[in-house]
Amino acid sequence: MFFRLNNVWLIINFACLIPLLALIFDINFNRLGADPVQAMHIRLGDWSMRFLWLTLVITPVQTFTKWQRMAVYRQMLGLYAFFYASLHVMTYLSVDHGFMWQLIGIDILESSYIWFGLIAYFIILLLAVSSPKSGKKRMGKNWKKLHQFIYIAAIAVIIHYYWQLKGNLAEPLFYLIIIILLLGFRIAVWFKNRQFNKMMIPTTKRVSVASIKQVSIFDQTVELSATTLKESIIQKILGYYECRNKK
Amino acid sequence: MIIKSNKIIPASEITDPLIFKNRRQIIKAMAGSLLIGSGISSVFANDKIDWIKLPKANVLTNSLPVTPAEIVKNYTNYYEFTFNKTDTTSLAQNLRTDPWSVEISGEVETPGVYYLEDILSHQSLQEYIYRFRCVEAWSMVVPWIGFPLSALLKTVKPLSSARFVQFTSIYSPQVMPNQRDNAMLDWPYQEGLRIDEAMHPLTILAVGMYGETMPKQNGAPLRLVVPWKYGFKSIKAIVKIELLKKPPVTTWNKFAPNDYGFYSNVNPTVAHPRWSQNSERQLGGSFFTPRRQTELFNGYAHQVASLYNDMDLRHFF
């Protein structure tokens, strides 16, 4: 079981590096067109955005399929979003601007689309730094609060993307629709949870039938989470004994 | 004298180029046999013209290193065909550019529709090596082949009431997908200049580049080149030139008036509302070629700054 998971982990890691390998290939064989620096810059930015979107896909997939233990892939994809975003920023500073800080300063001041890119990068940087288990432990409840900033980063990214276009908005529409769906899912979940919370405190008699149905759903979810909780406790205990036995 | 014809020729009536070429051969044969001379032959009548030996116009930028032709030919904004810069090369080949006529009208003494061949037979072509700066912050150096716009305008004798010039590109939805779909901009594409900008010796109409006939994706058969303005001012495939009393409507200005002004002079200190114009990436360099600091009026301030004396360039951007 562990070995199989590890294999999947390796394969996904390799798949995530394919865009970088393809880029290196294209640079070497001069296949980036008339403006290779811009092409490289755009491609790294695009991949960073795609990985960020994929990161946000994990939770809805988990909800709909009831697949467990996908958090490790969510972290991995998020780190790849950060990795490509870092290359994107490095390309901007080095290849594009040759570390000419005066040019860079003026460019950032005068280009409002870059501000949104910077906001997004700053958030993703914080998330990447705090993403290891030790960070999660140390931050406790605040960890989740901090990592909810990924939604703000996603909105900043899509503004960064749209804000630099000269007018034709048809191409990026795909990415916009995806992020609307992904953020819409969160809003729907949040809304539903709020409704459930309200239902827990029956105030009027009118909610009779509906409330019974929903409460029953709620009970099921409670049951489910209780069983998963039980399972995880058992697993932890087993893992503890395994470790001890090895020692 | 320029020979006038009164009709605008719709694209649907344009003869197949093959037949047209045959027609020319017939005429040439006839002309040869009858020893009539070369009245009918034109620049485009010959398949290969030796334009490389053309005299160079007296321009300061003649010594600039020219961008490789393959880059200039395969990196074009031609929104009538597509919004990307590379597919234009193949898509633009569908446009028929021969024969071509240009309507010149408005505030002129002798308005009319002129065949391009007739226009060219009265102009002496020269090579103009100009910087070309796109509003998207990239730039190239292009050796254009053309003649001053002023030389053409003089032949139709502008009236004193002519204060602006409007240019219109071809409207050909059969071959131009974004015109067919009514996508984004108001078609046909239109641009404009003030009359003193139009008469300036740096302002040219180009019919070729790199010693060859103009590639279709670069604006064949006739395009404007105004080197001190952002590239979108240099309208392609011109079918109409109208001299006006009032400022003309220009396509990008109409689409986004806060982003693209009527003047659109290259100016590093006036940023686009969403991005900086302070520097530019010169195409054709290597990965290690640094960005270039953009110059006021694209480096032609010496010649054109006097056109804008006492004007607030931030307001008239």
Q: Are A141 and A231 within one domain? A: no
By CB atoms closer than 10 A (0-12, 13-18, 19+), residue B131 is buried
Residue B192 lies in a domain: yes
Bridge partner residues of B229 (DSSP): B265
pLDDT band per the 50, 70, 90 thresholds, residue B317: very high
Share of chain A above pLDDT 90, in %: 51
Question: What pLDDT score does B41 carry?
Answer: 40
pLDDT at B60: 74
Please indicate, yes or no, if residue B268 is contained in any of the structural domains. no
CATH of the domain at B199: 3.90.420.10
Contacts of B177 in chain A (CB under 8 A): none
d(CA B48, CA B120): 16
Three-class secondary structure of residue A161 per DSSP:
helix
Question: Cα(A63)–Cα(B33) distance, rounded to whole angstroms?
Answer: 86
CA distance A98 to chain B (A): 6
- Best mutation site among B272, B280, B314, B317 for testing chain A: the one with the most A CBs within 10 Å? B272
Would you say residue B292 has pLDDT above 60?
yes
Residues B147-167: tens digit of each pLDDT = 999 999 999 999 999 999 999
Exposure of A233 in the CB half-sphere (CA atoms within 13 A)? 6
Residues A77 and A191 in one domain: yes
Residues B118 and B38 grouped into a single domain: no
CA dihedral B282, B283, B284, B288 (to 10 degrees): 60
Interface test mutation site (partner A, options B75, B89, B186, B275, max chain A beta carbons within 10 A): B275
User: Which two three-digit tokens encode residue B252?
Assistant: 């990008």
Residues B102 and B43 in one domain: no
The alpha carbon torsion through B164, B166, B167, B168 (nearest 10 deg) reads 180
* Residue B313 maps to a domain: no
Q: Assess contact for B279 and B292: CB atoms under 8 A.
A: yes
Same domain, B179 and B216: yes
Closest of B274, B217, B210, B268 to residue B66, by C-alpha: B210
Q: Look at residue A125 and tell me whether its pLDDT is greater than 60.
A: yes
Name the token pair of A58.
Answer: 């994990």
A25 touches A86 (CB < 8 A) = no
- B64, B103: one domain: yes
Domain boundary among A180, A201, A222: A201
Give yes or no: residues A127 and A69 share one domain: yes
The verdict on A172 and A65 lying in the same domain is: yes
Residues B160 and B118 in one domain: yes
Residue B228 near residue B300, CB atoms below 8 Å: yes
> Residue B273 has what pLDDT?
92
Contact flag A37-B287 (C-beta cutoff 8 Å): yes
Is B274's CB within 8 Å of A112's CB?
Answer: yes
Residues A130 and A169 both lie in one domain: yes
- Mark whether A192 and A218 lie in a shared domain: no
Cβ of A36 within 8 Å of Cβ of B287? The answer is: yes
Q: Which of B274, B133, B261 is nearest to A107 (CA)?
A: B274
Residue B291 domain flag: no
pLDDT at A217: 44
**H helical segments located in chain A:** 2-28, 36-65, 71-91, 101-110, 112-129, 133-139, 141-147, 150-163, 173-199, 208-246
Q: Which of A100, A107, A163 sits opposite B290 (nearest CB)?
A: A100
- A223 with A143, same domain: the answer is no
pLDDT, tens digit (0-9, with 9 covering 90-100), for B41-95: 444 544 455 676 788 887 777 788 999 999 999 999 999 999 989 999 999 999 9
Q: Amino acid identity, residue B267?
A: N
Verify that A186 and A88 share a domain, yes or no.
yes
B158/B39 same-domain check: no
For chain A, the domain total comes to 2
- B183 and B206 assigned to the same domain: yes
What is the Cα–Cα distance from A105 to A18, expressed in whole angstroms?
Answer: 33
Is B237 part of any domain? yes
Structural domain harbouring A194? 2-201
Measured distance CA(A76)–CA(A60) in Å, rounded: 16
A163 and A240 assigned to the same domain: no
Out of A6-20, A48-62, A209-223, pick the least confident.
A209-223
Helix (H) or strand (E) holding B197: helix B195-198
Question: Among A167, A186, A201, where does a domain finish?
Answer: A201
The verdict on B41 and B62 lying in the same domain is no
pLDDT for B285 beyond 50: yes
* pTM exceeds 0.90, yes or no: no
* Helix then strand then coil, % of chain B, to nearest 5: 25, 25, 50
Q: How confident is the model at residue A239, as a pLDDT?
A: 65
- Residues A55, B176: Cα–Cα separation, whole Å: 40
Q: Examine residue B271 and state whether it is found in any structural domain, yes or no.
A: no
Mark whether A9 and A27 lie in a shared domain: yes
Task: Confirm whether B99 is domain-assigned.
Answer: yes
Q: Compare all CA atoms of chain B with the CA of A166 and give the residue at the minimum distance.
A: B136
Task: Count up the domains in chain B and report the number.
Answer: 2
Mean confidence (pLDDT) of chain A: 83
What is d(CA B199, CA B272) in angstroms, rounded to the nearest whole number? Answer: 27
For residue B209, what are the domain limits? 49-262
Confidence (pLDDT) at B13? 52
pLDDT: is B158 or A213 the higher one? B158
The answer to whether residues A179 and A149 belong to one domain is: yes
The Cα A125–Cα A117 span in angstroms is 12
